[in-house]
Structures are given as structure tokens and as C-alpha cells.
Amino acid sequence: MEDIINISCATYETFAQLLAFNLSKKDYLADSISVIEGDMEFTLSFSVVAHYSKSMDDETCGREILSDITPVWWDFEAVDGGMKFVTDFSFDELKTYML
């Protein structure tokens, strides 16, 4: 049985920040994002639809904010020294860091 690599909160936060930056108010995005942590390279390839709504917060009232993100397709790879590893990555978990 393969060992499963656990994706840390810090890794989710990094991917959430990069994905949010790459979205930049776009409604649709297909792209790949890679993050290197030690010897491990994590790559998220995806196609997503972004949904926005007007903020009702006192500080940002009326400004459009990301309200949901729907993955059309995604793949998450973890590679170390040319070897691929299974992870516990979850797009739903990633969304919790973005919304």
C-alpha cells in the first residue's frame, strides 16, 4: 500500500493565494500552479469557473468578491526526484482557504 502525503494548511494557503491572484476577477481560468517545498514539487492543474457577488461588509460594501469557485477539472501531483506520490489533496478543502 502506498503512503499518502498529507497536504499541509500552509500548502493549501499558498495554492489559495496563487489561484486567487491568477483569477484576478476572471470568470473562467484554465492553468497550472506549482509550488516547491523542500524536494517535493506540488502542481495543481485546473480549469475553474469563478462566481462573484457584491460584498455587504461595511469596509468593502458594493465591491465584487469571490463567492464561490467551481472546478470543471483538476489534477494535483506531488513529485520528488521524478517519482509521483499520492496525496490527500481536496479541492473542497482548497476552497475553504479562498472563500
Per-residue pLDDT tens digits for 4-54: 999 999 999 999 999 999 998 899 999 999 999 999 999 999 999 999 988
Q: Is beta strand 64-80 parallel, antiparallel or unpaired with respect to 83-87?
A: antiparallel
Q: What is the pTM of this model?
A: 0.88
Q: How many structural domains is the chain composed of?
A: 1
Range of the domain at 93: 4-98
Contact 31, 15 (CB under 8 A): no
Instruction: Mark 25-51 as b/e (b = at least 16 C-beta within 10 Å).
Output: eeeebeeebeeeeeeeebebebebebe
Rounded Cα distance, 20 and 94, in Å = 11
Torsion of the alpha carbons at 90, 95, 97 and 99, rounded to the nearest 10? -170
